[in-house]
Every structure is written in structure tokens, then in C-alpha cells.
């Protein structure tokens, strides 16, 4: 598959940033949007807009069909068993909060343990911390290894009879480490422990098969997957969605309401209260189509080659220190330069049109463990190429020059 002209499919790359071509290396934060997705938002709002699931007029029927068609696309893309296992949320953050809240409410009591890892984004820690405060549960952290990953052994070490759920990231947004989710699921299930996966950095870059991965919950951020903002997906095994209580209450999620009692709608409506992100959901079908047209295997190969090239180039650049060296690595790489703070790096790179992220990347636990406040991160999308990485390296050299480093 030739990806040479892929940038042409993204209108943003025809703009200049600080009078330079945009070198976008911040896709772990949020990806850029292909024209087909932007056009679909426009056409839906312009010609087809209606709320879904309530009215019987023609627009409402068509919008409902479009909305449900995206659910079916996602189900197929993830190879989920049932379409009812796909719940739309406002983001991956809400997807994780949904599980923490409902699972915590029903199954967790004082001194029970939730096992997460030191790699977790704050969105897979803070929701569990709430339960620590409300219910007196404990949050345990599986430790990172010297490569910046979390091994199956390090997870196993922290499992005991009090462990009630394991919540882990699929891919670290800092070190890029890919965790062995299938093995973690199998280990956890052998002890009757369910597994939640924060799939934010996995879904845009890896071939996903929910039945093969065997996890119980998988949270996805659509805006990192060439999709619209304000939208996430929770994949959850049907048994859990049936067993767990509803999350938010409101219109659309009820069966019958009386003064004394309320019964809830079936799946997936039970978890989709209120007016949902109709246009974004309709447009997200185009994001899936965009990925499928290129082929996820082609995207994986392209990003793997480019990440190998990035590692090679940055390793050769003395004074650049790479954070972690995981064997299985996704599309993000973090680094520091001795003597230059990551925020200064990001500001100087920005002048060359090179967009990276600097800071703790919402991973303060990991940064504390690494003994640093902040790192700089370059993350890849399907649209990046070797020229982008060469420009990154040139701009890093410019930083070093400004700061008087060799």
C-alpha cells in the first residue's frame, strides 16, 4: 500500500503553521481528521440532521439507522460477538468511569483491591481513586520493568485473593510499550478476575479482535482514531452490561417510569442516556472506513517501520535520551535532552511547524517513578513519514544549538 500521498486526504496539512509545513507528531494526544470524516459531519448536519431513537418522522428514522450502522461497523471492526456490546460514550475517560462506577457500586467493598499499573494515564487511575475514597478499596500498582513496560510476571506478583478487577493500558502513551493483554486476560480469568483495557493508544494502531483478546472491557477514544471529538466507545462483554447497574439516568435509557418505580431499557440503550453525539457517531463510520480502506495491517507496518526509523535517528543524536526501550512498541516515543526542559524543546520545535507534546502526559505516577517532572513526546499517525522524523531531528539540533549543547 502506497501511503506517500496520504497527507492529501487530511485538509489540515495544506495549512501553514508558523509559515512552515505542519509536521504533526502529536497523534497520541489526538489525531488529525480525514476529509471524508469532516465532510460527513457537514453533510449530516446540513441535510440529514435529527435526533435518534425517539421520533417517527423520516429524518429521525434515517438518523437512527445511520447511528446504529456505526455501531455495527464498530462491532465488526473490533470483532465483538454482539452489537449490543458496543456502547457509545463521550470519550474513553467516560467509558472507564462507567465501568469503575457501576462495577464498584455492585461488586466492590472495603479492602477489595483494584490492580492497575504504573503506566496508567490518569483516566485509568482517578476513577478507581474515587472508589478508594467512597468505598475504602485499595488501588495497587503493578511495577514497570527496566524497558518501560509491565510484564505479565509483574502483574501476577500483585494479584491476590482481594484483587477484584485488573485495569491496564493496552499501549503506554509515554513509553509506547504494548502490554500482553491476551495473556493478562487469561491469567486474570484463571482467577475469576475481570480485565478492563484502556485502549486509547491501541485502537488507532493495532489490529483488534475482542474475542481473541478475551478482555472484559475495552475503552476507545474516537478522536485518536481519525474520528470526531466528544466520542468514545466502551466495548464490554454482554454479560457485564446485563449484570451491571445503569451509569447515568435520563431519557432514552428507561423502559417504564412510574412514581414508585423505574425499569431500564435493554442493551445498549441502558447505557446511552440523554441525547447522544449523533453527528459524531454517524461520522465515525467514515473513520472506520478510512482505516479499513488502507488496511490496519498496512497502517501497523507503516508505523512500525517509521517508529524503528525514529528510534534509530534519535539514538544517533547524542544528548537525546529515550524513555524506555520496550520490545513491543507502539506509535509513541518520549525523550529528554540533558540541559533542556521539555517545554523549551516543544516551543522551539513549534517554530519549525513541528508539533509534539511536552509535560507529564497525564502520567504523573510514571514520571515520579522515572524521577522526572516532564518529558517530550513524539507520536505517530498514518500520515507521518521519514521526512517528518528528519525534520524532528533537525529541529532538535536547533534546540541544542540555542542552548549551547553539542
Partner 1 sequence: MNLKELYQEIILEHGKNPRNLRKTENFNKEAKGYNPLCGDKVHVYLKLNESNKIEDVSFQGSGCAISMASASIMTCLVKGKEEKDIKEIVEDFLEMIKDKPELSSKNLNKDEKTRLMCLSGVKQYPMRVKCATLSWHTLTSAIVGDNEEINTEKFG
The least distance separating partner 1 from the CB of residue 344, rounded to whole angstroms, comes to: 5
Longest dimension (CA), the chain: 75
> 268 or 342, CB closer to partner 1?
342
> 6 or 363, CB closer to partner 1?
363
Q: Are 228 and 222 in contact (CB under 8 A)?
A: yes
Closest CA to 92 of 196, 194, 175: 196
Give the HSE-up count for residue 324: Cα atoms under 13 Å, Cβ half-sphere. Answer: 29
Q: Are 52 and 71 in contact (CB under 8 A)?
A: no
Point out which residues bind partner 1 (CB under 8 A).
18, 339-344, 347-348, 351, 358-360, 364, 367, 373-374, 402-404
The least distance separating partner 1 from the CB of residue 338, rounded to whole angstroms, comes to: 12
Q: Are 195 and 218 in contact (CB under 8 A)?
A: no
The least distance separating partner 1 from the CB of residue 19, rounded to whole angstroms, comes to: 10
The least distance separating partner 1 from the CB of residue 7, rounded to whole angstroms, comes to: 24
Distance separating alpha carbons of residues 17 and 315, to the nearest angstrom = 28
End-to-end, the C-alpha distance of the chain in Å comes to: 40
Which residue pairs from 392-398 have beta carbons closer than 8 angstroms and sit at least 24 positions apart in sequence? 392/23, 392/25, 392/310, 392/313, 392/349, 392/354, 392/356, 393/313, 393/314, 393/317, 394/352, 395/348, 395/349, 395/352, 395/354, 396/314, 396/317, 396/320, 396/337, 396/345, 396/349, 397/317, 398/348, 398/352
> 250 or 339, CB closer to partner 1?
339
The least distance separating partner 1 from the CB of residue 347, rounded to whole angstroms, comes to: 6
Q: Are 346 and 357 in contact (CB under 8 A)?
A: yes
> 28 or 70, CB closer to partner 1?
28
The least distance separating partner 1 from the CB of residue 108, rounded to whole angstroms, comes to: 29
Helices (H), 330-372: 342-351, 364-370
> 87 or 365, CB closer to partner 1?
365
> 193 or 345, CB closer to partner 1?
345
Cα 149–chain centre separation:
17
Is 399 one of the annotated active-site residues of the chain? no
Which of the following is catalytic: 200, 222, 362, 399? 362
Report the catalytic residues.
Answer: 362
Amino acid at each position: 500500500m502506497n501511503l506517500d500521498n496520504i497527507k492529501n486526504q487530511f485538509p489540515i496539512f495544506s495549512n501553514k503553521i508558523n509559515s512552515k509545513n505542519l509536521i504533526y507528531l502529536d497523534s497520541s494526544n489526538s489525531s488529525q481528521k480525514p476529509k471524508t470524516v469532516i465532510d460527513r459531519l457537514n453533510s449530516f448536519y446540513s441535510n440529514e440532521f435529527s435526533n435518534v431513537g425517539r421520533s417517527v418522522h423520516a429524518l429521525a428514522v434515517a438518523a437512527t439507522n445511520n447511528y446504529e450502522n456505526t455501531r455495527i461497523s464498530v462491532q465488526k471492526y473490533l470483532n465483538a460477538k454482539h452489537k449490543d456490546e458496543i456502547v457509545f460514550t463521550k470519550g474513553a475517560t467516560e467509558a472507564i468511569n462507567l465501568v469503575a462506577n457501576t462495577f464498584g457500586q455492585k461488586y466492590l467493598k472495603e479492602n477489595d483491591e483494584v490492580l492497575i499499573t504504573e503506566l496508567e494515564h490518569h483516566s485509568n487511575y482517578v476513577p478507581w481513586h474515587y472508589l478508594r475514597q467512597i468505598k475504602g478499596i485499595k488501588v495497587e500498582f503493578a511495577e514497570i520493568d527496566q524497558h518501560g513496560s509491565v510484564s505479565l510476571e509483574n502483574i501476577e506478583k500483585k494479584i491476590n485473593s482481594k484483587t477484584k478487577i485488573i485495569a491496564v493500558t493496552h499501549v503506554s502513551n509515554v513509553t509506547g510499550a504494548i502490554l500482553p493483554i491476551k495473556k493478562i486476560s487469561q491469567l486474570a480469568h484463571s482467577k475469576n478476575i475481570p480485565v478492563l483495557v484502556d485502549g486509547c493508544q491501541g485502537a488507532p494502531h493495532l489490529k483488534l479482535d475482542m474475542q481473541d483478546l478475551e478482555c472484559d472491557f475495552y475503552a476507545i477514544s474516537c478522536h485518536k482514531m481519525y474520528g470526531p471529538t466528544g466520542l468514545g466507545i466502551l466495548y464490554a462483554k454482554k454479560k457485564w452490561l446485563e449484570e451491571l447497574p445503569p451509569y447515568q439516568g435520563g431519557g432514552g435509557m428507561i423502559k417504564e417510569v412510574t412514581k414508585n418505580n423505574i425499569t431500564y431499557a435493554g442493551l445498549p440503550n441502558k447505557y446511552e442516556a440523554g441525547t447522544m453525539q449523533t453527528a459524531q457517531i454517524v461520522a465515525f463510520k467514515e473513520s472506520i472506513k478510512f482505516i479499513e480502506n488502507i488496511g490496519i495491517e498496512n497502517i501497523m507496518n507503516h508505523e512500525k517501520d517509521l517508529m524503528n526509523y525514529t528510534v534509530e535517528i534519535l539514538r544517533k543524536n547524542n544528548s537525546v535520551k529515550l524513555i524506555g526501550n520496550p520490545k513491543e512498541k507502539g506509535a509513541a516515543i518520549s525523550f529528554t535532552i540533558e540541559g533542556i526542559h521539555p517545554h523549551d524543546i516543544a516551543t522551539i520545535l513549534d517554530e519549525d511547524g513541528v508539533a509534539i507534546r511536552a509535560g507529564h502526559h497525564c502520567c504523573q505516577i510514571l514520571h515520579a517513578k522515572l524521577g522526572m517532572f516532564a518529558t517530550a513526546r513524539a507520536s505517530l499517525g498514518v500520515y507521518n513519514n521519514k521526512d517528518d522524523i528528519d525534520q524532528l531531528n533537525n529541529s532538535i539540533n536547533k534546540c541544542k544549538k540555542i542552548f549551547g549543547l553539542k
